[in-house]
Amino acid sequence: MEDIITKTIDFVKTQLQDAEGGHDWFHIERVWKNAQNIAKGEQCDQEIVALAALLHDIADSKFHSGDETVGPQVARNWLVSKGYPKEKLEHVIAIIENVSYKGGHNERNHSSIELNVVQDADRLDAMGAIGIARTFNYGGFKNRTIYDPDIAPNLNMSKEEYKMSTAPTINHFYEKLLLLIELMNTATGKEIALERHRFMETFLDQFYAEWKGLR
């Protein structure tokens, strides 16, 4: 187990050395750590959890013209090159294909405790102080407006609309971040998410007060 995980860490670090700050190796490392923490309370295959967490954003579709097949294929090629057992390999790939938010349109075609763990771990990194930092980092990367009171959040976007959105960064809180609390799968994930959710609510209260010149 240790050998394949160590090699995968090195592979991911190399692949993501020039990645955008919210989807770089440090994001992967945080999700991996979150997954390890959550997995302690679940009956699951910790090797599959670790590999899926490490490879879940190896080629995020946002940086590949929306193509959701690139990441799973890169992960598959890597695991095949290391002679990873086919049944386990297919499980890792299924998790990678189903882990992302996709605008809340979560038509999962795979179910497993391992997917639940990795999905919660990834969602936690989109919440709280880290989630806020990542959201504004990506908004800056895409040169988006921070906030525009005249542009309301769109809570009924299709998957394609979500992927193509150019809305102000604050809108993303309502279109994704604040919705994650209701989508957590595990008891540990829900517990951690609650604190991070409350922190985001406090941040938004402060943001609007400062925007209006009240604080």
- Return the closest-CA partner of residue 68 out of 80, 52, 56: 56
Out of 50-54, 97-101, 149-153, least confident range: 97-101
With 60 as the cut, is the pLDDT of residue 116 above it? yes
Q: Which residues contact 4 (CB under 8 A, 6 or more apart)?
A: 47, 51, 82, 84
d(CA 39, CA 61): 26
- Return the closest-CA partner of residue 114 out of 51, 160, 67: 51
Task: Give the sign of the dihedral formed by CA 205, CA 105, CA 39, CA 51.
Answer: negative
With 60 as the cut, is the pLDDT of residue 63 above it? no
- In one-letter notation, the amino acid at residue 113 is I
DSSP H helices, 99-186, are: 113-124, 128-141, 159-164, 171-175
Q: Calculate the average pLDDT of the chain.
A: 91
**Domain residue limits, the chain:** 2-211
Q: What pLDDT, on the 0 to 100 scale, is given for residue 59?
A: 67
Q: What pLDDT, on the 0 to 100 scale, is given for residue 18?
A: 85
Q: What pLDDT, on the 0 to 100 scale, is given for residue 103?
A: 56
Q: What pLDDT, on the 0 to 100 scale, is given for residue 201?
A: 98
With 90 as the cut, is the pLDDT of residue 33 above it? yes
- What pTM did the predictor assign? 0.90
Q: What pLDDT, on the 0 to 100 scale, is given for residue 10?
A: 96
Tens of pLDDT, residues 81-93: 999 999 999 999 9
Q: What pLDDT, on the 0 to 100 scale, is given for residue 180?
A: 96
Tens of pLDDT, residues 142-195: 999 999 999 999 988 777 777 778 899 999 999 999 999 999 999 999 999 999
Q: Of residues 125 and 161, which shows the higher confidence score?
A: 125
- Return the closest-CA partner of residue 117 out of 30, 62, 169, 39: 39
Q: What pLDDT, on the 0 to 100 scale, is given for residue 110?
A: 86
Structural domain 2-211, CATH architecture: Orthogonal Bundle (1.10)
